[in-house]
Structures are given as C-alpha cells and as structure tokens.
C-alpha cells in the first residue's frame, strides 16, 4: 500500500521533476511504471543507477518468489516485460539525448 510521504520529501521530488526536460519526463513515466519507484527512476535518468541494476532491483522480489515456489511462466513473462520496458526507456533516453532538434 502507498505510504503518505512527508511534505518536505514531496516538495523535493517536485523540485527534481521540475528540473527535468520533456524527454526525461517521458522516460520517467515509463520507468516509474515499470520499476514501481519514482526514486529509482530518477536515479536511472540522473545516471546514478544503471539500467541493468534497475532491472535487477525491480525484479528482485519476483526472483525470490521463483526460487521459493518454482517456475511460474506468467511471473517470468512479467519480469521479461519489465526488463524490456526499462531497457527500451533507456535506449529512448540515450537516443533522445543524442538528437538535437
């Protein structure tokens, strides 16, 4: 369940988001959905966390589930889709930063 964050934290996030351009905001929209974490998404866009690490951290609980309960094809597909979304968003960000309009 979502936890209500302190006002100072929300203000700091608002400031971080306001400093982002349209490309980064578009990528954050995909990453936040795929990772389930705006903070992790900001770290990826800011270059503090690699795409590979973001995939690993995002799918960590599911990998634990698979290790505990065994193969679950639907869960594996979910993990693969998340990985694809994260890597595609990273590619979009990289390409978008190389293009000057």
Three-class DSSP category at 6: coil
| Residue ranges in the chain assigned as alpha helix (H) | 7-18, 22-35, 38-45, 51-58, 60-69, 73-98
Length of the chain: 101
- Assigned domain for 10 exists: no
- What does the pLDDT read at residue 54? 98
Q: How many domains does the chain have?
A: 1
Tens-binned pLDDT, residue by residue, of the chain (101 aa)? 788 999 999 999 999 999 999 999 999 999 999 999 999 999 999 999 999 999 999 999 999 999 999 999 999 999 999 999 999 999 999 999 998 66
* CATH number for the domain that contains residue 37: 1.10.3580.10
- Assigned domain for 1 exists: no
Nearest C-alpha neighbor of 44 from the set 3, 87, 11, 80 = 87
Three-class DSSP category at 43: helix
Rounded to whole angstroms, how far apart are CA atoms 14 and 63? 32
Whether this model's pTM surpasses 0.85: yes
Domain range spanning residue 69? 22-98
- Assigned domain for 4 exists: no
């Amino acid at each position: 369940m979502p936890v209500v964050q302190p006002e100072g934290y929300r203000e700091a996030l608002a400031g971080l988001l306001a400093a982002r351009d349209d490309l980064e905001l578009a990528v954050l929209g995909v990453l936040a959905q795929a990772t389930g974490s705006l903070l992790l998404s900001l770290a990826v866009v800011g270059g503090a966390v690699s795409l590979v690490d973001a995939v690993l951290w995002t799918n960590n609980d599911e990998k634990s589930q698979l290790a505990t309960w065994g193969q679950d094809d639907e869960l594996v597909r979910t993990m693969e889709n998340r990985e694809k979304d994260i890597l595609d968003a990273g590619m979009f960000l990289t390409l978008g930063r190389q293009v000057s309009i």
